[in-house]
Structure 1
Amino acid sequence: MQTCAQAQETPAQENTVGKQYLKDVLHDEKIIWTSPARIRSSHLPWLIPFFATTGGLIATDSNVAKQLPGSPSLISNSRTLANAGLALAVGGGASYYLWGRFAHNDHAREAGVLSSEAAIHSAIVAEVLKLMAQRERPSADVRGRFFQGGSSFPSEHAMLSWSIASVFAHEYPHTIIPFLSYSAASGVSLARVLGRDHFPSDIFVGSVLGYAIGRYVYNTHHDQELPGANIGAFTPSGPDYRREGTTWVALDSWVYPAIDRLAALGYANGISGLRPWTRIECARMVEEAGQTIEGEGAGPGMVALYQRLVREFAPEIEGTISNSEGRIEDLYARAGFISGQPLADDYHFAKTMVDDFGRPFGEGANLVSGVSSRVIAGSFGLYVRGEYEYAGALPPYSAPVLQDIANVDSTLFAVQQRTNSLNRFQFLDSYVSLNYRNNIISFGKQTLWWGPGAEAPFLFSDNVEPLPLLRISRATPFVLPWIFHYLGGIRVEFIWGQLNGTHFVSTHSSFTQETDFTPPIRPHPYIHGEKVSFKPTRNFEFGFGVTSLFGGPGFPLTIHNFLKSYSLSNTAPGFPGDPGDRRSGFDFSYRLPYVRDWLTFYADSFTEDEFSPIIFPRKSSMRGGFYMPKLPKLNRLDLRAEGLYTDIPSLGVPGVEYFNGRFRSGYTNWGQLIGSWVGREGNGISAYSTYHFSERNDFTLHYRNQKVNPEFLSGGHLQDFAASGTFAKTNGLTFKGALQYEHWAFPLLSAIPKENVIGSLEIRFQPSQGWKLW
């Protein structure tokens, strides 16, 4: 196909129906069918993900088709909807042409003409590919074999609707038309799958080719004197955050506390309750902080911190990221030793090492050594973080402990915790991502943080191993029009994934018929979650979140069960109408008046199986805290303190938080709580104070206290006293040492209180921007 630059050089011509129209169609057909001969290495960042996704979908097509609902009425209605949607798209293009012709509206006439050209090309390409592939349709044979005389691959409905939608979206980019066009095309595509006319791979290939054909037709024949999307105009400007590929900044990065300090002092402005942030979002906040610092002035410490952040995100700020580049982000090693017995079960008791990506630990030596890297290719990103882990052994639970755990969880038996030392290689956050107009679509193992503050939020935290997720997240806040602009900047995030390590699921076919599923569980439960955060002012932010566990044994992953998990209805856990295990959350943060540069107050809450903690505060767990980025006469010293509880007063039933009668292993992944370390029936406080010698060198004191309700597994408590220091050199080498003393007493685990001491040393090589490979 022609390049964008070549298309820009083509003289503008009148787009109408006639001899020139036929010439354009014939010329474009030649370009389309000879385009494979013009593939270059620069196209690989787009072609490789396209073919990889197509191959993955083809491999899973048969399994997906077998799980689709087979209702005759649904199939019939889906086919009617698909045909009606396509007819509406074609009719809409014709209507625009007629309107433009008789109303002398050149823009509308061009939209109609180009949409018809795109539809003709799509129909020709689809028919030829169908003849070549000859794939069976799902309605004939769910195996989806090729070269069997069928006509399933690719979907002509999808290709036609997406090509027309692409033309209209490019002709009217700043209106509601792109949303309506792509929504209609998506509806047609989904209906063809539900109507058992196509497999998902047929739809995917048809949609991508249709979009590309529509974009090509617009780019080649659009009259530049008319309004429309400015494709291929290479005007020097700042970085285009809507298009650049990007990756998420790891949650244990020094960047988060640095930007938190700038935000608490009023220099940076972002949404703190929805993390991680992308590198382009961090760059945006750093740029904004620079403008505020320049306008209002700042002390030398904040200026140095800002300059350090500028060096880190210089490629994103300056727009110098190449179309394809790879960097090693950091290399690290941490050696630690635990003297004494630690705790490692926060679902039932407590955990000694928290908010550490679910890394294993045990008595004796504990080692971690890893590397993280990122690759950017156009709008795509790839991030890989892998590490070697060694963990010491843990003592086994006694038979009475296992029996009490089984009783409180209502399971047939309890699973023994790990007792042997562990030696393994593990991938942490590792995913591919696509940036589409500031919306990041990522797939792979990912860590989430849904809430303000430094301690683990209730819904998602880094207290657990990263989950395999499909994630759609708005990277940079957007503002709604009209009166809705008072809501301020908005970020939204949607996730779908699957849990691991679930041991117990219980279902009911009636009030007297119960089925208990025990290890090995197949399939594991699925999870989806949604969160939206608002920032109406620079000083106030609030957000709503919800998560749901669904599927698993007895509830196959069907579209009906998936959609039911979003319904407002509810039934007893495990019964046929059960939508799943749902929990909702609310959080906010506020820089208090008159002391805005001194004090930020924040809170987080969640409730089980209720609409919102705002409506049911007496049935909700709460977390509140404050952050002081500086103290009087001590600008380099900060202070943070938080208090939280899940032992809800007067609730009467212990251990119900993070638990469900159907999913007896609870809100866990590999046995570890996805949310807060405070557990199912506990309360606690945590306090930090850090002295900042420079932008990267600091010393921190930390205190943590946790108590568990005696009504839950006989209760217990722990106290942690910790100190840590960080020393960073200018060449990217960082040293961090930490020492922690813990005292705990859980009568069910030990008749006498226990103590342990943890010492660790971490060495990390993390040059600014990463070590560039190409």
Structure 2
Amino acid sequence: MRPKRSAYVLCLCILFLVTEICSADVSVNVPLGNWSYDALDKLVSLGLVQSAIFSAKPFTRLEMARLTIEARSALEKQKDHLGASATRIAHELVQRLRKEFNAEIQEIEGTTKVSFYLKPFEDLYATYYHSTEDFAFEYDKGREFCDGSSFKAGFSAHAALFRHLAFYFNPEFRYSKGEFPSEDYKVSLLEGYGKLELWNIELEVGRDSLWWGPGRHGALILTDNVRPFDLIKISNPRPVVLPWIFKYLGLFKFQGFYTKLEGNRYIPKPELMGFRVDIKPFPFLELGASRTIILGGEGDNAPKGVSELSFTDWLKLLSGQNISGSLDTDQIAGVDATLHINNLDNFVRVLKTLDIWGQLYGEDEAASLPSRNGFVLGMRLGDIFLTGRTNLVIEHADNVINGYPNFWYNHHVYKSGYTYYKRIMGHEMGSEARDTYVSLEHYLRPDLIAWLSYDY
């Protein structure tokens, strides 16, 4: 990124910081994989949620509450148009979300203002597995299991203090014979962090997962296919409208983070940093851009780390030039978009909504732009047959670069690749791969879903 372009970005950030002070309180994140994301996505497919920025997760509980309020309001206006079956499904989903996020909904609506609360036990879970070989699930926060019997159990707890501090803990017990170095079981903190929020700027320190991209079955740059990161993250948890001419960008949201990767790799403990910006200029269009950088590390072969970079180094690093030596880094950058078309049933009496999304990201750069690109392209047919029950998702991912075998997720300096504890931080398909995913989802009841999926 050239100096002039850097000034534009800095100006944009300053404009965000001086936007009108909002009264949003702090809240913890909704863990990736939680049922509420699917429930909210279902309401999007019914055309009841317009302001969600789905490509940057996790959401906070307050953001989930805000979107639940939006869905409830839209349902009241559209229930006659939706039809009886779709209305019943949507109503029960909204009620289930309202029950889950009731405290946050009351905060937003002003019926309750609590300066301190503690929820010591929630989301209790226990799962038993048996397999004849070692296995791991994709997008399961890096968990791996050995053959034979395996077991996991855990719970979460969270608290808020003075409406600006929040804490979250998810301890987990796992048993899998032969999986851990010295014992057959392990008790660890799967996710846990503290948050400080002021004026819709949120600082998070601790262990958490990230998902950047609109894909339903993967994203090229960051997913929860790996263990949660021990990170420092800054973000605006609630989308805002920027002042002046930037208001035409629509809703604006950003995230930035810094972490260190593990020590058992070719260059030990390299640093990973990333930033993402999302805008929603129209209710039907969501645009995003992301960049991650692996740099630094320990040992004689390690390039410069964050603390060693001068201002000039930063300009070179972000310029889009291919650089080597002490400034050699492993970067992935690109853009993504989601197009949401609502009320198709006015024209085609078999379909309510259509979502089309794509990601285009590069592992190299040419002329300051990402090159040697991988892509994800997908679509969702929402509410097929207008019963409120059935959605179809089709998605294809590809990072094969002709003439450059195994180019994606590998690097000539950081030879352990774009991994964390030996698992890809992006799409689970890995390097030099193509992946096609088809999923048919049918709601038997609001709390009982039948899935039929194909992944190749």
Over residues 319-362 of structure 1, what are the superposed CA-to-partner deviations in whole Å (9 max), with x where a residue is unaligned?
235211111221110101123x356xxxxxxxx52010000112
Tell me what 1:246 maps to. 27
Displacement of 1:290: 1.6
Amino acid at match of 1:304: E
**8 A contact 1:502–1:669 mirrored in 2:** no
1:490 and 1:534 in contact (8 A); partners too: yes
Q: Counterparts of 1:440 and 1:612 in 2: how far apart (Å)?
A: 35
Residue 300 of structure 1 corresponds to: 88
More strand by share: 2
Match of 1:530 in 2: 275
Moved more, 537-546 or 599-608: 599-608
SS at match of 2:145: coil
Aligned mate of 2:156, from 352, 360, 372: 372
Contact 1:533–1:544 (8 Å) recurs in 2: yes
SS at match of 1:356: coil
- Preserved contact between residue 247 and residue 382 of structure 1 (Cα < 8 Å): yes
Query: Alignment partner of 2:215: what SS?
Result: coil
Q: 1:276 to 1:572 in 2, by over 3 A?
A: same
Which of 630, 636, 639 is the aligned partner of 2:389?
636
Change over 3 Å in CA distance of 1:612–1:447 after alignment to 2: farther
In the alignment, what sits opposite 1:309?
A: 97
Cα distance between partner residues in 2 of 1:329 and 1:177: 35
> Is 1:487 aligned with 2:268?
no
- Partner SS for 1:693: strand
SS at the partner of 2:406? coil
Equivalent residues of 2:295, 2:304 under 8 A apart: no
Q: 1:179 to 1:560 in 2, by over 3 A?
A: farther
Q: 1:250 and 1:686 mapped to 2: Cα distance?
A: 23
Q: 1:426 aligns with which of 171, 180, 188?
A: 188
With over 3 angstroms needed to count, the CA separation of the structure-2 counterparts of 1:593 and 1:633, relative to structure 1, is closer
Deviation at 1:245, TM superposition (A): 2.3
Q: Distance in 1 between matches of 2:76 and 2:56?
A: 28
Q: Determine whether 1:588 maps to 2:334.
A: no
1:470 aligns with 2:258: no
C-alpha deviation, 1:427, in angstroms: 1.4
Question: After the TM superposition, which residues 135-150 of structure 1 pair with which residues of structure 2 at under 5 Å, given as runs?
Answer: none
1:388 equivalent to 2:173? Answer yes
1:577 is aligned to 2:309: no
Give the length in aligned residue pairs: 418
In the alignment, does 2:387 pair up with 1:606?
Answer: no
What does 1:352-363 align with in structure 2 at a 5 Å threshold? 353-363=137-147
Structure 2 Cα separation of the partners of residues 612 and 367 of structure 1: 51
- Supply the distance in 2 between the matched residues of 1:335 and 1:546 (Cα, whole angstroms): 38
Alpha-carbon deviation of 1:365? Answer: 1.5
Deviations 1:270-328 (A, max 9, x none): 10000000011111111111221112224111111112111211111112352111112
Structure number with larger C-alpha Rg = 1
For residues 177 and 251 of structure 1, the distance between their equivalents in structure 2, rounded to whole angstroms, comes to 27
Q: 2:32 is aligned with what amino acid?
A: L
SS at match of 1:536: strand
**Could you tell me which of 533, 542, 545 is aligned with 2:287?**
542
**Residue 561 (structure 1) aligns with:** 309
Q: Deviation of residue 178 (structure 1)?
A: 7.9
Letter in 2 for 1:703: Y
Structure with more relative contact order (C-alpha pairs < 8 Å, separation 6 or more): 2
The alpha-carbon deviation at position 545 of structure 1 amounts to 0.2
Q: Say if 2:454 is the partner of 1:670.
A: no
Partner of 2:45: 264
Contact 1:551 1:561 in 2 (8 A): no
Per the TM alignment, residue 659 of structure 1 is displaced from its structure 2 partner at its CA by: 1.1
- For 1:530, the aligned partner's letter is F
User: Does the C-alpha gap of structure 1 residues 453 and 556 become closer, same or farther in structure 2, counting only changes over 3 Å?
Assistant: closer
Superposition pairs of residues 222-237 of structure 1, within 5 angstroms: none
| Contact 1:584–1:612 under 8 Å retained in 2 | no
Distance (whole Å) between structure 1 residues aligned to residue 360 and residue 265 of structure 2: 27
Aligned partner of 2:55 among 273, 290, 310: 273
- In structure 1, the residue corresponding to 2:197 is in which secondary structure? strand
Contact 1:338/1:365 (<8 A) preserved: yes
Q: Report the CA distance shift for 1:420/1:621 in structure 2 as closer, same or farther (over 3 A).
A: farther
The one-letter amino acid paired with 2:64 is: C
Give me the whole-angstrom Cα distance separating, in 2, the residues matched to 1:599 and 1:374: 37
Change (3 A) 1:595 1:391: farther
Aligned CA distance change for structure 1 residues 562 and 317 (closer, same or farther; 3 Å) = farther
The answer to whether the Cα contact below 8 Å between 2:125 and 2:154 also exists between their aligned partners in 1 is yes
Query: Residues 576 and 700 from structure 1, CA distance in 2 versus in 1: closer, same or farther, beyond 3 angstroms?
Result: same
Report the AA paired with residue 395 of structure 2.
E
CA distance in 1, matches of 2:306, 2:15: 32
Which of 390, 404, 407 is equivalent to 1:656?
407
Identity %: 26
Secondary structure, counterpart of 1:666 in structure 2: coil
Aligned-pair distance for 1:265?
A: 2.1
Counterpart of 2:3 in structure 1 is: none
Distance change >3 Å, CA 289–CA 558, structure 1 → 2: closer
Q: Secondary structure at the match of 2:238?
A: coil
Q: Is the 8 A contact 1:545 1:585 kept in 2?
A: yes
Q: Which runs of 5+ in 1 are unaligned?
A: 1-174, 181-227, 230-239, 344-351, 395-417, 506-520, 706-774
SS of equivalent to 1:459: coil
- Is the Cα–Cα contact under 8 Å of residues 358 and 462 in structure 1 kept in the other structure? yes
Contact map agreement 2:383 2:390 (CA 8 A) in 1: yes
Instruction: Tell me which residue corresponds to 2:199.
Output: 437
- Structure 1 pair 372–419 and aligned structure 2 pair: CA distance change class (3 A): closer
Letter in 1 for 2:289: F
Change (3 A) 1:501 1:638: farther
Distance 1:647 1:420 in 2: 39
CA shift in 2, pair 1:684/1:360, >3 Å = same
Shift of 1:634: 4.4
Matches within 5 A, 1:113-132: none
**Using the alignment, how far apart are the partners of 1:468 and 1:632 within structure 2?**
45
Amino acid at match of 1:359: R
Provide closer, same or farther for how the CA distance between residues 525 and 439 of structure 1 changes in structure 2, counting only shifts above 3 A. same
Bigger fraction of residues in helix:
1
Letter of the aligned partner of 1:307 in structure 2?
A: Q
Give the whole-Å Cα distance in 1 for the aligned partners of 2:384 and 2:55.
Answer: 24
CA displacement at 1:420 relative to structure 2: 9.2
Question: Closer, same or farther in 2 for the Cα pair 1:177/1:701, shift >3 Å?
Answer: closer
**TM-score, with structure 1 as normaliser:** 0.51
Matched letter for residue 59 of structure 2: W
SS in 1 for 2:167: strand
2:406 is aligned with 1:622:
no
Give the conservation status (yes or no) of the 8 Å contact 1:326–1:376: yes
Shift of 1:369: 0.6
User: Deviations along 1:68-108, whole A, 9 cap, x unmatched?
Assistant: xxxxxxxxxxxxxxxxxxxxxxxxxxxxxxxxxxxxxxxxx
The residue matched to 1:485 in structure 2 has which SS?
helix
Change (3 A) 1:646 1:177: closer
- Alpha-carbon distance, 1:643 to partner: 0.8
2: CA distance, partners of 1:318 / 1:633: 33
Does residue 77 of structure 2 align to residue 289 of structure 1? Answer: no
Residue aligned with 2:42, SS: helix
| 377 and 631 in structure 1: CA distance in 2 versus 1, 3 angstrom threshold | same
What corresponds to 1:714 in structure 2?
A: none
User: Do the aligned partners of 2:354 and 2:380 also contact (CA within 8 Å) in 1?
Assistant: yes
Residues 176 and 534 (structure 1), Cα distance of their counterparts in 2 relative to 1, 3 Å cut: closer
Cα distance in 1 for partners of 2:89, 2:405 equals 48
Where does the alignment leave 5 or more consecutive residues of structure 2 unmatched?
Answer: 1-13, 346-351
SS state at 1:267 partner: coil
SS at match of 2:43: helix
2:262 maps to which residue?
A: 500
Distance in 2 separating the partners of 1:612 and 1:393: 49
Q: Separation in 2 of the partners of 1:177 and 1:362?
A: 48
In structure 2, what residue type is equivalent to 1:585?
A: G
Measured in 2, the distance between the counterparts of 1:177 and 1:369 equals: 42
